[in-house]
Amino acid sequence: MTDPQATPGAVAAVAGAARLLSRRAGSEVELSEPEDLGGSGSSVVARARMAQNPFSDRRSVVIKQYQDVPGPSDPFRYEVASCQLFTALPADVRPSPVIIAHDPDQRLLVLEDLGRSMTLADKLFGPDREAARTCLLGWARGLGRMQAATAGREGDFGALLRRLGEKVRRDPVADQARAALAGLPDLLADALGVHVPDLAVLEAHGGVRLLGGTGFRAFSPSDTCPDNNLVTSRGVRFVDFEWGCFRDVVLDAAYVRLPFPACAASFALPAPVATQMLDAWRAEVTPVWPELDDPEVLESRLGDAHLLWVWWSTWLLLPRLLHRDGPIGADAGRSPRISTALRHYWRGLAAVAADTERPATADLAGAVVDALDARFPDAPSELPVFPAFRVPDR
């Protein structure tokens, strides 16, 4: 039975999943009522009801099928390896759906269905301030719990990737970040007339140490934007691991300070909420990395991460801004204007740089904000908080 609203891609993915599960079970497994859940331009994500399955009491599954031709680094393999890594973890620390089956030939995964859950983005754009705050704290705890649970498992992740045929492990942000550190001075000079002092470049290169083999490495989904996090009855769960990698844990923790750099939903967070999120994250990771309970150590590393993300985000967004000052994402109602977001990033960096003795960065940040003000005077200068926090307290 096929839902008349289902897209051809969803129907095909569900049919492929039924064949895969039947082959594995040695008996027919029937999937029905395919429902398109969206996905990205390179993949189809669908839900299907298990109409006939003599070997499981699952009522439904989620199917993800990659449509693109793999390049030098295959996101399908990274998604599978990530889900396999998590499936081997105890249920109480597992941050993702369980992987049920996968088929490299069809480039298809069958995953546990976490239910018709809202995303973190839905909560942040909803009408309930307290629900949004609770979910953000759940996100921070979930991030810390995932990092603590995967500490020391980088070798396991590498073995899973090799078994799938992936020979090279990579952090997808690392090359982009290094390109930003090399190219942003010229871009700022050409685009905004802002000169980047050599000392500011030297201060920015402090973030490079976070891209290498630090002693604080754990799994990162890389893309932890609000729409890639499901709010379930068991807490916030992460989905979409096609860019999964191991890297320094503070790179993701710094998202609470920016927040969510270069994501379509990159509105501001109330300062008290950001502080509570960082405290929630730290409580989960300090049993594994007690050094991060030292405020001086943590603030230094967060400062490096904050600086790196601002340079990276500017490197990605400024060329788009010069073409058109539109929203970061496709939906203007759920995404801020690029110039407003960049002002917010650099204004926040100025404060961090002043607090962490990075004087050249503080001066540079002030110059970038002034240049954006002059170039885009009609754009809002202050980044609003997420809509949920614009709702008055009850």
pLDDT per residue over 344-372, tens digit each?
999 999 999 999 999 999 999 999 999 99
**341-372 b/e (C-beta count within 10 Å ≥ 16 → b):** bbbbbbbbbbebbeebebebbbbbbbbbbebb
Verify that 195 and 240 share a domain, yes or no: yes
Structure tokens at 70: 């793999």
Residue 70: what pLDDT?
66
Strand order in the sheet with 99-103: 30-36, 43-52, 60-66, 108-112, 99-103
> In whole numbers, what is the pLDDT of the chain averaged over residues?
91
Residue that terminates a domain, selected from 69, 84, 112: 112
Query: Is residue 3 situated within a structural domain?
Result: no
Q: How far apart are CA 383 and CA 347, in angstroms?
A: 10
Tell me which of 39 and 167 has the higher pLDDT. Answer: 167
Percent of the chain whose predicted confidence (pLDDT) is above 70 = 94
Question: Hey, what are 21's tokens?
Answer: 């599960």
Q: Number of structural domains, the chain?
A: 2
Are 149 and 216 in the same domain?
Answer: yes
Same domain, 103 and 122: no
Residue 323: is it exposed, middle or buried by C-beta count within 10 angstroms (0-12/13-18/19+)? exposed
Q: What is the model's pLDDT at position 56?
A: 67
Alpha helices for the chain (secondary structure H): 8-25, 75-87, 120-124, 129-150, 154-163, 172-192, 198-204, 250-253, 271-285, 295-323, 338-355, 359-375
Are 67 and 134 within one domain?
no
| Structural domain range at position 141 | 118-390
Q: How far is CA 349 from CA 336, 339, 352, 364, 383, in A?
A: 18, 15, 5, 10, 14
Q: Which of 112, 128, 151 is the last residue of a domain?
A: 112
For range 263-292, the mean pLDDT: 96
Instruction: Write out pLDDT tens, residues 160-176.
Output: 999 999 887 778 788 88
Residues comprising the chain, all counted: 394
Give the residue from 158, 163, 280, 294 showing the smallest Cα distance to 216: 294
CA distance 278 to 14: 40
**What CATH number corresponds to the domain at position 127?**
3.90.1200
Tokens 């954006």 found at = 372
1 in a structural domain? no
With bands split at pLDDT 50, 70 and 90, how would you rate the model's confidence at 8? confident
CATH value at residue 12: 3.30.200.20
The pLDDT of 370-387, averaged and rounded, is 94
Query: From the centroid of its chain, how far is CA 296?
Result: 26
pLDDT of residue 242: 87
Q: Does residue 2 form part of some domain?
A: no
* Assigned domain for 177 exists: yes
Task: Please identify, among 90, 112, 134, the residue that sits at the C-terminal boundary of a domain.
Answer: 112
Residues 226 and 123 in one domain: yes
Mean per-residue pLDDT for 194-206?
94
Is residue 79 one of the residues assigned to a domain? yes
* pLDDT above 90 for 337: yes
227 and 266 inside one domain: yes
Phi, psi dihedrals of residue 261, rounded to the nearest 5°: -60, 130
The reply to whether 167 and 193 lie within a common domain is yes
Residue 82 domain flag:
yes
95 with 140, same domain: the answer is no
Mark whether 162 and 260 lie in a shared domain: yes
Nearest to 144 by CA among 272, 257, 287: 287
Residue 18: is its pLDDT beyond 50? yes
Separation of alpha carbons 157 and 146, rounded Å? 14
Query: Does a structural domain hold residue 222?
Result: yes
Are residues 25 and 174 both part of a single domain? no
Evaluate whether residue 39 is within a structural domain: yes
Same domain for 218 and 97 = no
Same domain, 142 and 56: no
> What integer pLDDT is reported at residue 41 of this predicted model?
67
Give the C-alpha distances (Å, rounded to integers) separating 42 from 67, 119, 239, 267. Answer: 5, 21, 15, 26
